[in-house]
Amino acid sequence: MKRIAVLTSGGDAPGMNAAVRAVVRACAFYNLECFIIYKGYQGLIENSIDKANARRVNNIINKGGTILKSARSSDFRTSSGRKKAYNNLIKYNIESLVVIGGDGSFNGARIFQKEFNFPVIGIPGTIDNDISGTQYTIGYDTAINTVIQVIDKIRDTAISHNRLFFIEVMGRDAGHIALHSGIGAGAEEILIPEEDRGLKKLLISLKKSEKTGKASSIVVVAEGDKTGKNVFELASYVEKNLPDYEVRVSVLGHMQRGGAPTCFDRVLASRMGVFAVESLIEGKSSVMVGIENNQMKLTPLQNVTKIKSATNEDLLRLTDILSI
């Protein structure tokens, strides 16, 4: 093993740059040549490949987003597109590929590896924390801390005007961000895709809060919540049934993906990047790097799936106890 390439794919996540830095510098440490690929799989097809040394990745560990850019690639979904990508790797005598991304990126990597018998290893980078085979994904810790900081600010104005705020956070089909940031920010209610707690229970909880003297309330809603209503419809429903509440909605959106990564994400990304290179040196392929109980591990790409369940009965119980 003498030449390794690295790319970022899918949605950006804080800490991806730290992972790229770790891969490049681990290659330098082990006297391997490293190549960086811009714009994900599409860049690989378009030959957007450049050689990188340790100095090339100076001062990026603290940067959000990804310096390598990311892009969707419909071409990579085709066999002809993947063939072009493979030919470009061979052109540079690249012997293995590190893919930093989510479940869609890993599915592409798995197909590519199987098609060309080309060594590939994945590093999980997504704020949703919804990848099996790892306890944490790169970007998740930064995202929940960003959400908490914003909710703290919203609570200030909620208290000042005695308002009820519905705050929508990212996560698609997984409620990790909503559940953990909601508890951390002291939300009165948390609505996640994994638990359909029902609209009636929401009304009962808010009525109870009002009777106990709460002048303002925060409800954190995961974007994939199963109440059957989007966050604006939820707000209208509550306003109609609880006219004493002055209701507002705040959709946090893509700010959750941005910003400097936390120390946790920087360290996690650094560990994963180095472990990925060391695993390739050892001959490992078609696996994803993960972490479990603070120990690095490898999971076959064929076993890596998108997990939907964020259900933690203990955390759900906490929300009921602490929102009293």
Same domain, 63 and 16: yes
For residue 322, is it within any domain?
no
- What does 20-66 look like in DSSP terms, one character per residue? HHHHHHHHHHTT-EEEEETTHHHHHHTT-EEEE-GGGGTT-TT--S-
Residue 88 lies in a domain: yes
pLDDT in tens, 59-114: 999 999 999 999 889 999 999 999 999 999 999 999 999 999 999 999 999 999 99
Q: What is the pLDDT of residue 226?
A: 64
Give the pLDDT of residue 124: 97
Whether residue 183 contacts residue 257, with contact meaning beta carbons closer than 8 Å, is answered with: no
Specify if 312 maps to a domain: no
Which of 130, 76, 139, 80 is CA-nearest to residue 103? Answer: 130
Mutual orientation of helices 231-241 and 199-211 as an angle, nearest 10°? 50
Q: Looking at the 3D structure of the chain, how many domains does it have?
A: 2
- pLDDT value, residue 204: 82
Q: Are residues 48 and 121 in the same domain?
A: yes
Q: How far apart are CA 248 and CA 167, in angstroms?
A: 9
Q: How many CB atoms lie within 10 A of CB 322?
A: 11
Task: Give domain status of residue 323, yes or no.
Answer: no
CATH number at residue 101: 3.40.50.450
DSSP string, 139-193: THHHHHHHHHHHHHHHHHHHHHHTEEEEEEE--TT--HHHHHHHHHTT-SEEEBT
| 129, 8: one domain | yes
Judge if 132 and 265 occupy the same domain.
Answer: yes
Do 188 and 149 lie in one domain? The reply is yes
What number of CA atoms fall less than 13 Å from residue 88's CA on the CB side? 21
| Residues paired with 169 in a beta bridge | 222
Shared domain check, 240 and 278: no
CA distances from 83 to 78, 88, 309 (A): 9, 9, 36
Residue 154: the pLDDT is 96
- Residue 311: per-residue pLDDT: 60
CATH of the domain at 173: 3.40.50.460
The whole-angstrom separation of Cα 111 and Cα 108 is 5
pTM over 0.95: no
Active-site residues, by number, are 128
Residues of the chain with pLDDT under 50: none
Token digits of residue 286: 């078609």
